[in-house]
Structure 1
């Protein structure tokens, strides 16, 4: 599927440095990276700040002086994440988005990570993304992503089902820790049930005619940076970016209204909010797709169709991250209850399923 991500000619070449950073003793090799990227910085003056928001990788900000003006972010990939993240695809997505001024600068890659520009601004929380000004900015920025042509003449296809099948095959059915294994057996659906649900999702969602577009695929609150001064939002972290169903990307974002550390699915956006959000999105999407022509009107029917598609694809998002969390529970060294998170996602999947399958398309 990485073949579909075509980096535009003239995009800056990203250097690859043959070093490996130890996540537990990162400073020595991080300084080697900084020497290559900021040769005028004195190693003794380089300060390092660890960011703790992410639950996939380790992120360190390197800078000199008192203010965070020029910060080089060093991201060290999480343990075994290469099993479920296509790192070549991530770099291609990063370069495509950078070429369209949707991403920070990517400075270099190294054996187990990459270095990139720090974006000034505020990483959002669930309470921010309901703000009318901010949600319209988010809808517009997502539309801009979705309108990018990055397939060099190929007809893009979603790799969602292939990726979910891979995740399903990697998901553990047993943990050596007895307590953890008991939680798995008692709280997570068994492999037969998950296999049946995965087939049901593919058969039912593939028929919804949602366009396949270039998606972020992981638009949780902390991956949205709000720059108040210019009135912009930017999305960060492109590990899961790639071609996918338009409705999946939006439904996945709506699921993230519930937050990450204290998940509360009562915060999932209600219908009236969604319709406002989706109209703002469709207006921007048509504008970006039809540049140079008069912007088409968005009909009520178009908004209603997208509403049904999005809420059904929100099911696939729960299922995807449920499988992902099971894999992380097996391999990740990050202090986070991944198994508990998998339970939350699968529980919400089964709770939502009858509600969203009962939704009807407009006549």
Structure 2
């Protein structure tokens, strides 16, 4: 292709492949899981119930990065521009997943601290700006629009924790990298459990 070629990605796609892929993977893998209180079958059943709930939220399916940890977001101060890098996990997914996943990554990388998860006030301001850019000047963004995305985003943040739990368990079985993937999986799953009741209780009114 020429250097001038531009690939246009539609804002909305009609099916997702990331969470659906995770759902299928959970049905067939048998990784080591050292938590005596949580058997892997429980993980599969739990994700099936979560997935069933998430698909009712009507979050648009769009092209997503799916791995927007802070190291993949480059801010150029001189030009005031942001660039995303590392599209290894990019693909079709629910819009709210990409945002919720990004918010979970506020915890950091080297010293993970989930108390850094953004506050409601921060999220509402962030989501307002996001929707204004996403829809453009032709649409007036209402408080309800922002609230709906806020609810969707936090519920899909649960899916983010689940997805990376599964990813880490697979890596623990197959990766040669010197990293405690099982401990990371446990950390993500624990955060899922800690947030589950609060986030699932959120309602779109």
TM-score of the superposed pair, with normalisation by structure 1 = 0.53
Q: How far did residue 187 of structure 1 move?
A: 6.0
| Superposed CA offset, 1:288-321 (max 9, x none) | xxxxxx4322100000000000000001110000
Note the residue ranges of structure 1 that are not aligned, 5 or more in a row.
1-10, 14-97, 101-146, 175-183, 288-293
Q: Tell me the residue number matched to 2:10.
A: 149
Note the residue ranges of structure 2 that are not aligned, 5 or more in a row.
none
- Residue 92 of structure 2, aligned match among 240, 243, 247: 243
TM-score of the superposed pair, with normalisation by structure 2 = 0.91
Distance 2:76 2:62 in 1: 26
Instruction: Return closer, same or farther for 1:168/1:215 CA change in 2, 3 Å cut-off.
Output: same
Larger Rg: 1
Say if 2:169 is the partner of 1:320: no
Distance 2:185 2:24 in 1: 17
Structure that is richer in helix per residue: 2
Highest RCO, 1 vs 2 (Cα 8 Å, sep ≥ 6): 2
- Residue 17 of structure 2, aligned match among 135, 143, 159: 159
Q: Contact conserved, 2:23 with 2:48, CA < 8 A, in 1?
A: no
Paired residue total: 204
For 1:212-361, list aligned pairs within 5 A.
Answer: 212-287=61-136, 294-361=137-204
Q: Secondary structure at the match of 1:186?
A: coil
Q: How far did residue 350 of structure 1 move?
A: 1.1
| Superposed CA offset, 1:114-148 (max 9, x none) | xxxxxxxxxxxxxxxxxxxxxxxxxxxxxxxxx93
Q: Tell me the residue number matched to 1:133.
A: none
Let me know the Cα RMSD of the aligned residues: 2.1
Q: How far did residue 323 of structure 1 move?
A: 0.2
Q: Contact conserved, 2:31 with 2:170, CA < 8 A, in 1?
A: no
